[in-house]
Amino acid sequence: MATTAELSGKGALVTGGASGIGAAAARRLAGLGARVAVVDVDEVGARRVAEQVGGLAVVGDVSDPATMPSAVGRAEAEFGRLDLVLLNAGVGGGQRAVDDALDVARYRSVVGVNVDHVVFGTCAAVPALRRSGGGSIVVMASLAGLTAMPADPLYTMTKHAVVGYVRAAGAALAADGITLCALCPGFVDTLLLGAAREEFDQLDFPLLTPDNVVDTLLAVLARGGPGEAWTVQPGQEGGPYRFRGVPGVGGGKLPPEVAIG
């Protein structure tokens, strides 16, 4: 699905599309012939990117259960089909979340955007993708979904959650011709870094660009398998992460009816 011919005329939807990785993905997908719906709570940014790519702007809070069904419906109506959904919207935790000073409202917001949005988006997209004969859902996770990031426990928790969701749900959706994968980039030079951007500069720490992540997104669309989590790191070719099996009978493998039931 990653070649120009395969994307030409296809319908795509990108959440968090007003800036950063989402905007880069919208531009690249449109450049390859896809028609793109740009979903974001930032109305000005969403409309700007949608205008740049000749696509559709959808303004809404992705943590609201009504937003993703509405966005999918509008994209499918506008394009006549939906073939690719990139669930990219995400926010940082912004607090330690290990003591009584927990900001509950902020906690709910982070979980809403980073986790609920992925579930709402997948559930909304699957019927539309089935109507198109199959397609791809790619969830923007993080290396924090594969290892601990002590500086942001909440972010780490949410990204572990979506990686687990993708791994579990991927096999079930494969029977419908729908490939569900996760992208797990390291640190990317976007607004999500916030004030930490200066620290990375001081350490001369290599950062990914949004286009680096989109390069791997296209590889996932071309070669990704159900439930895979692809890593993206500076100077390295992206590829699926090899998870170790859990200890147990049969090397930790579950019977098919348990694994995908």
What strands, in cross-sheet order, belong to the sheet with 229-232? 56-59, 35-40, 11-15, 84-87, 135-140, 178-185, 229-232, 239-240
Instruction: Please identify which of the residues 10, 155, 241, 253 carries the catalytic annotation.
Output: 155
Round to whole Å and give the CA distance between 154 and 62. Answer: 18
Q: Check if 159 is active-site.
A: yes
Instruction: Please identify which of the residues 10, 107, 159, 165 carries the catalytic annotation.
Output: 159
CB atoms within 10 A of CB 203: 8
Tokens, residue 45:
């940014």
Round to whole Å and give the CA distance between 243 and 213. Answer: 21
Round to whole Å and give the CA distance between 134 and 11. Answer: 12
Q: Check if 253 is active-site.
A: no
Q: Which residues are catalytic?
A: 155, 159
